[in-house]
Amino acid sequence: MLANGGSTANVNALRIQKAYEGRGGISALVRTMEAHARKRGISLLTIGVEAVNARNLAIYLHWGYRTLVHTETEEGSLVLYYAKELGIGNTDPTHTQETKAVCVCDKA
């Protein structure tokens, strides 16, 4: 289950312009989302990535989204959904602190 309206939520459509990649903006945004989710009582976050996107998959695995929970085909592409437990006592040092995030986004 990707989201259940209670303790599980799904992160959807993280995007950043190429010019801003590698500056930590998305990482900071994800840390902020995780902290907010914890405060709301969400203990499990899921995130999807197209199977052909090895770079993003590696980033999500690095962030702790390591449990494969679902696969599906969307618009002809295989999408892999991974989960990360956020429960109290999560000691992942890269994702436990709250961080302010600034998002530079294109209007799509």
- pLDDT per position as a tens digit, 4-61: 888 999 998 888 888 988 898 889 999 999 999 999 999 999 999 999 999 999 999 9
For residue 38, the model assigns a pLDDT of 93
* C-alpha closest to that of 60 among 89, 27, 38: 27
Question: What does the alpha-carbon distance between residue 43 and residue 92 come to, in Å, rounded to a whole number?
Answer: 14
Q: Which two tokens stand for residue 19?
A: 């010019």
Tell me if 63 sits within 8 A of 84, measured CB to CB: yes
**Secondary structure of residue 85 in the 3-state scheme:** strand
Looking at residue 3, its pLDDT comes to 85
